């Protein structure tokens, strides 16, 4: 007796057996309940997610001898014929093999005849997008006004290739890809029924390899049963699929965090000994980096069964910027691997780039200065806490290197400041200067001018896309509570009504009265808030650089170690 594969044996025969697609099933069931049966349905989606299966079950619902029902009996002649694929009144057509217009005309010539022993004559056309344009034209009239006893069920993986004239005459249902969790759970049920031993982690590999397709998942399961001799272990299934244990990738990232090149390369070569599919390795590493970034924002966004603690600990070793850099490095490396055969070397180079391009993370403490010397807080590295202020993660020691012992000794040896004739004058620190900066200047409602529009902008409660766009608006005029601004055509293309409304709301909140806003698209000469901010930041950095050059501790450090102050490395924390 020939073996029937799992995908055929466990194909659902009614709606209750379907996995996923609740939005589609709900619409079909309600149409049956309310007796509102359309003459043409189009099911779209990627391969193996149930398009043809849904169409066949729906055909049984329509032609079951008991009644038009959402629960066909499965035992009448019509149901059994559909189950066996021998339905006389269900005409299944593979459009890929019948693309000619003559085939379509021959098919449609029989629509005038009544079904033999069923309620409807149902045409199920699979991969309908493969029909030629002439075939679609021949189908159009019949599809628009078919006989009462004819129903069309169309299925396709590429609805974009179907003419809009056809689409407009069908009820369209898009079937979604299956989630890895739903695939894994269903495979587990199948293996229990088949009395086959398995490890849950092995099912996770299968679910991931299926890429949202339940049919592919069952086909892979068939292959795994044969490969492992009915014992689906994690190691065996991973070897079969060319996958790798994610723990080794996590170990590689730990080596990257410690900048341990030898350890990282040894781990890569150990991984290569198992002859993995490096395309999948790149995908797995991208998935881990993505989860690390999500973990830094909110650990609830990260779903990694059995490895939550590992990912949580690893996320604390990198900054948000590093993860973004790593992700791009791996994406580019995967593209290189598609045109170069030596994927292992490309993967090694990607790991080396991650280590080499990872910025040095240095945190410079405040040096004791002369009482007349202005303070400067200097921290060029942005940690997770500052990049994502809502995260609960605490910075790890590796996020920033501690100040060197030599610097501490210099600080310790700094002489006390000697009193001068100006000792009684109050000193002003950089922080104090920033608190009195022009950004904090109040602007009166009746005094919005070209000189203070940029200052007003930073006082307004604007955020997100609205702020990003409106920061590029320059002042034109302000009269009788009407503010006119100018924006370049480039930014005007992004400007929406809701952005202007956000500006009006922010102005009302600040001035406690209504101010109308008009934004015109044109070239302008007046300075924008963004341009002003760039200039202001440059001036701040220049001032900070001058302060560092004059600082006694920095000067002593430079002289002691023949060091050099790099002006471009100076940043300001506001």
Instruction: Return the half-sphere exposure (C-beta side, CA atoms, 13 A cut-off) of residue 419.
Output: 4
- What is d(CA 168, CA 41) in angstroms, rounded to the nearest whole number? 11
Highest average pLDDT, of 118-122, 392-396, 410-414, 457-461, comes from: 118-122
Separation between Cα atoms, residue 26 and residue 175, nearest integer Å = 12
For the chain, percent of residues with pLDDT exceeding 70: 82
pLDDT tens digit sequence for 269-292: 988 887 888 888 998 899 889 988
Identify the burial level of 170 via C-beta atoms within 10 angstroms of its C-beta, where 0-12 means exposed, 13-18 middle and 19 or more buried. buried
Give the residues across from 42 on adjacent strands: 154, 172
Residue 173 backbone dihedrals phi, psi, to 5 degrees? -130, 120
What SS3 state is found at 209? helix
Burial pattern 272-284, b for ≥16 Cβ within 10 A else e, equals beeebebebbbeb
Let me know: does 111 contact 147? Beta carbons within 8 Å: yes
Tell me the per-residue pLDDT of 95-140, one tens digit each, with 9 for 90 and over.
Answer: 888 778 888 888 888 888 898 888 999 999 999 999 988 889 889 8
Distance CA 347, CA 353 (A): 10
Strand partners, 123: 91, 152
Lowest mean pLDDT among 154-168, 240-254, 378-392: 378-392
**Residue listed under structure tokens 């292992």:** 344
Identify the pLDDT of residue 122.
94
pLDDT classification of 436: cutoffs 50, 70, 90: low
- Predicted pLDDT at 551: 84
pLDDT at 439: 55
For position 88, what pLDDT does the model report? 86
Rounded Cα gap, residues 30 and 12, in angstroms:
20
Using the Cα atoms of residue 555, residue 561, residue 563 and residue 565 in order, give the sign of their dihedral.
Answer: negative
How many residues does the structure list for the chain?
Answer: 574
pLDDT the model gives residue 445 = 62
Residues 6+ apart with CB under 8 A from 418: none
Q: How confident is the model at residue 448 (pLDDT cuts 50, 70, 90)?
A: confident
Question: Do residues 507 and 471 lie in contact, with contact meaning Cβ atoms separated by under 8 Å?
Answer: no
Please give the pLDDT value at position 186: 93
Which regions of 95-149 does DSSP assign to beta strands (E)?
121-126
Banded model confidence at residue 427, pLDDT cuts 50, 70, 90: very low
Query: Who wins on pLDDT, 385 or 500?
Result: 500
Per-residue pLDDT band for 164 (boundaries 50, 70, 90) equals very high
How would residue 428 be classed by pLDDT, with cut points 50, 70 and 90?
A: very low
Question: Which tokens sit at 400?
Answer: 């920033």
CB 324 within 8 A of CB 415: no
- For 41-86, write each residue's pLDDT tens digit: 999 999 999 999 999 999 999 999 988 998 998 889 899 888 888 8
pLDDT of residue 341: 83
> What is d(CA 34, CA 25) in angstroms, rounded to the nearest whole number?
14
How much is the pLDDT for 441?
60
Q: What is the pLDDT of residues 485-520, one digit of tens each?
A: 999 877 787 788 888 898 999 998 888 889 999 999
> Residue 403: its pLDDT value, please?
32
- Rounded mean pLDDT of 405-434? 38
Q: Which residue has the higher pLDDT, 395 or 155?
A: 155
Query: Which of 166, 216, 164, 167 minimizes the C-alpha distance to 187?
Result: 216
Maximum CA extent, the chain: 113
pLDDT at position 128 is 92
d(CA 555, CA 558): 5
Kindly give the interhelix angle for 200-210 and 234-241, rounded to the nearest 10 degrees: 20
What is the rounded CA–CA span in Å between residue 441 and residue 439? 6
Residue 393, pLDDT > 80, answer no
The arithmetic mean of pLDDT across residues 468-484, rounded, is 89
Contact by Cβ (8 Å): 50, 213? no
Mean per-residue pLDDT for 8-25?
90
pLDDT band at 160; cut points 50, 70, 90: very high
**CA dist 462 → 336, 452, 490, 533 (Å):** 42, 17, 20, 16
Q: Dihedral of the CA atoms 305, 310, 312, 318 (nearest 10)? A: -130
Position 444 scores a pLDDT of 67
Query: Which pLDDT value is given to residue 267?
Result: 92
pTM given for the model: 0.56
Give the model's confidence band at 574: pLDDT under 50 very low, under 70 low, under 90 confident, else very high. low
* 123's tokens: 């045409």
Residue 430, classed as helix, strand or coil, is helix
For 549-573, what is each residue's pLDDT tens digit?
A: 888 888 888 888 888 877 767 776 6
Domain architecture of the chain: domains with CATH: 6-174 (3.40.50.300), 181-241 (1.10.8.60), 246-357 (1.20.272.10), 438-527 (3.30.300.150)
> Of residues 228 and 359, which shows the higher confidence score?
228
Q: How far apart are the C-alpha atoms of 280 and 283, rounded to whole Å? A: 5
- State the chain's mean pLDDT as an integer: 80
Q: How far is CA 476 from CA 438, 523, 533, 536, in A?
A: 21, 11, 19, 22
Higher pLDDT, 438 or 542: 542
Burial of 397 (0-12, 13-18, 19+ CB in 10 A): exposed
């Amino acid at each position: 007796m020939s073996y029937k594969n799992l995908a055929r044996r466990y194909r659902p025969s009614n709606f209750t057996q379907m996995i996923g697609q609740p939005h589609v099933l709900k619409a079909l069931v309600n149409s049956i309940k309310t007796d509102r049966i359309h003459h043409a349905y189009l099911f779209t989606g990627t391969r193996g997610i149930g398009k043809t299966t849904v169409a066949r079950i729906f055909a049984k619902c329509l032609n079951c001898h008991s009644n038009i029902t959402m629960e066909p009996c499965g035992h009448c002649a019509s149901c059994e014929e559909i189950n066996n694929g021998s339905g006389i009144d269900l005409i299944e057509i593979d459009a890929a093999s019948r693309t000619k217009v003559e085939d379509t005309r021959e098919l449609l010539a029989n629509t005038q005849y009544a079904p033999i022993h069923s309620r409807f004559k149902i045409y199920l056309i699979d991969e309908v997008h493969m029909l030629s344009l002439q075939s679609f034209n021949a189908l159009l009239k019949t599809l628009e006004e078919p006989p009462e006893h004819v129903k069309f069920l169309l299925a396709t993986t590429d609805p974009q290739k179907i003419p809009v004239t056809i689409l407009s005459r069908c009820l369209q249902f898009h079937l979604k890809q299956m989630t890895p969790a739903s695939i894994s759970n269903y495979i587990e049920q199948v293996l229990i029924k088949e009395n086959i031993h398995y490890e849950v982690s092995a099912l996770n590999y299968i679910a991931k390899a299926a890429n949202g397709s339940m049919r592919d998942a069952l086909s892979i399961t068939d292959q795994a049963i044969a490969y492992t001799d009915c014992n689906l272990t994690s190691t065996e299934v991973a070897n079969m699929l060319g996958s790798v244990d994610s723990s080794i990738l996590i170990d590689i990232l730990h080596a990257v965090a410690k900048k341990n090149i030898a350890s990282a390369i040894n781990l890569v070569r150990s991984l290569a000994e198992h002859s993995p599919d490096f395309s999948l390795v790149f995908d797995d590493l991208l998935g881990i980096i993505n989860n690390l970034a999500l973990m830094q924002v909110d650990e609830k966004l990260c779903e990694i069964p059995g490895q939550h603690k590992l990912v949580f600990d690893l996320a604390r070793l990198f900054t948000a910027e590093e993860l973004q850099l790593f992700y791009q490095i791996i994406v580019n490396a995967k593209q290189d691997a598609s045109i170069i055969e030596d994927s292992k070397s490309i993967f090694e180079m990607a790991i080396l780039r991650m280590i080499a391009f990872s910025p040095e993370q240095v945190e410079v403490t405040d040096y004791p200065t002369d009482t007349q010397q202005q303070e400067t807080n200097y921290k060029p590295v942005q940690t997770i806490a500052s990049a994502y202020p809502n995260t609960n993660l605490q910075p790890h020691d590796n996020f920033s290197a501690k100040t060197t012992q030599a610097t501490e000794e210099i600080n310790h040896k700094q002489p006390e400041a000697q009193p001068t004739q100006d000792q009684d004058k109050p000193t002003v620190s950089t922080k104090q200067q920033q608190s009195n900066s022009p950004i904090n200047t109040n602007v009166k409602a009746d005094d919005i001018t070209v000189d203070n529009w940029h200052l007003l902008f930073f006082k307004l409660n604007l955020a997100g896309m609205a702020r990003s766009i409106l920061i590029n608006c320059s002042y034109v005029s302000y009269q009788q509570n009407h503010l006119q601004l100018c924006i370049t055509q480039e930014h005007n293309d992004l400007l929406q009504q809701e952005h202007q409304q956000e500006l009006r709301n922010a102005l009302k909140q600040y001035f406690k009265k209504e101010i109308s806003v008009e934004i015109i698209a044109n070239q302008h000469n007046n300075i924008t808030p963004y341009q002003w901010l760039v200039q202001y930041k440059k001036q701040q950095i220049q001032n900070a650089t001058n302060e560092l050059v004059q600082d006694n501790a920095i000067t002593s450090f430079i002289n002691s170690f023949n060091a050099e102050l790099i002006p471009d490395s100076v940043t300001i924390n506001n």
